[in-house]
């Protein structure tokens, strides 16, 4: 591989004369997902956003989709036929109840697992299979959670996020030779709507234990994700990048 080709591969950039691909961002209206979409669009990447409700933002194309309903795989296959394969795949979808395990009903437990993990596995299976078949390079970034490391106040959510880590590491191991990288960005407490359920007392507790003394901002998580998508060398794959103000320190 030439030095120019290696530099382009390191940035996931096309060779001269090739068209840029697009980025597929699940959870594009969330606090972190919207920032990722905005930064990618500013890098002249055509962002296709997917969320529960359709609303154009940051100059991106958005589609409304409930990923827990049947048909996700078919929807993705149709999307690929109509728009081509993405070069960048981002998963920012999450449901957090902050509910003790003993207070979970089976139906709600399945909903949390389906939203946080099962839908991701279905989407990864579909996009990875298409990328391998068409020999198309692909960079995957999944937004995880430090709950996957330390547990938390929601065992079902923590278990699902730990499953996301295992899934991404497995994709990196199984499909690295096909030009596919897969990484996790793992935020700690972050200033998004998801953090609003914890209450003031728990927020103060977290802030007292975070070395930088504050919650992470969505833009900080997004910047790390976009770096993995667009600038990180191809050898960085199967990695968990902590963006938590030094909370976990692993």
Domains of the chain: 19-243 (3.40.50.720)
Q: What is the pLDDT of residue 38?
A: 95
**φ, ψ of residue 44 in degrees (nearest 5):** 65, 30
Which residue numbers in the chain have pLDDT < 70?
A: 1-20, 54-59, 197
pLDDT the model gives residue 19:
37
Q: Which of 104, 157, 175, 206 is catalytic?
A: 157
Q: What is residue 55's predicted lDDT score, i.e. its pLDDT?
A: 60
Cβ atoms of residues 75 and 123 within 8 Å: no
What is the pLDDT at residue 54? 60
H or E element in which residue 229 lies:
helix 218-230
Q: Say what the pTM is.
A: 0.88
Query: Please, what is the end-to-end C-alpha distance for the chain in angstroms?
Result: 35
157: annotated active-site residue? yes
pLDDT of residue 58: 55
Residue-level pLDDT at 96? 86
Instruction: Yes or no: say if 125 and 99 are a contact pair by the CB < 8 Å rule.
Output: no
């Amino acid at each position: 591989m030439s030095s120019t080709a290696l530099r382009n591969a390191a940035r996931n950039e096309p060779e001269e004369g090739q068209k840029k691909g697009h980025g597929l961002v699940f959870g594009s209206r969330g606090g972190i997902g919207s920032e990722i979409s905005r930064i990618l669009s500013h890098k002249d990447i055509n962002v296709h956003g997917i969320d529960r409700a359709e609303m154009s933002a940051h100059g991106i194309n958005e589609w409304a989709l409930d990923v827990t309903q049947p048909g996700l795989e078919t929807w993705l296959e149709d999307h690929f036929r109509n728009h081509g394969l993405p070069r960048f795949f981002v998963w920012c979808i999450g449901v957090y109840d902050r509910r003790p395990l003993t207070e979970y009903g089976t139906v709600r437990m399945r909903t949390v697992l389906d939203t946080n993990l099962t839908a991701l596995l279905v989407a990864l299976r579909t996009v990875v299979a298409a990328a391998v078949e068409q020999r198309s390079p692909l960079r995957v970034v999944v937004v995880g959670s430090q709950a996957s490391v330390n547990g938390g106040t929601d065992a079902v959510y923590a278990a699902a996020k730990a499953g996301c880590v295992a899934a991404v590491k497995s994709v990196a191991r199984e499909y690295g030779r096909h030009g596919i990288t897969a990484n996790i960005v793992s935020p700690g407490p972050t200033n998004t709507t998801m953090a609003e359920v914890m209450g003031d007392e728990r927020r103060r507790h977290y802030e007292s234990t975070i070395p930088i003394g504050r919650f992470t901002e969505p833009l900080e998580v997004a910047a790390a994700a976009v770096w993995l998508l667009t600038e990180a060398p191809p050898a960085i794959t199967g990695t968990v990048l902590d963006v938590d103000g030094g909370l976990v320190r692993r």
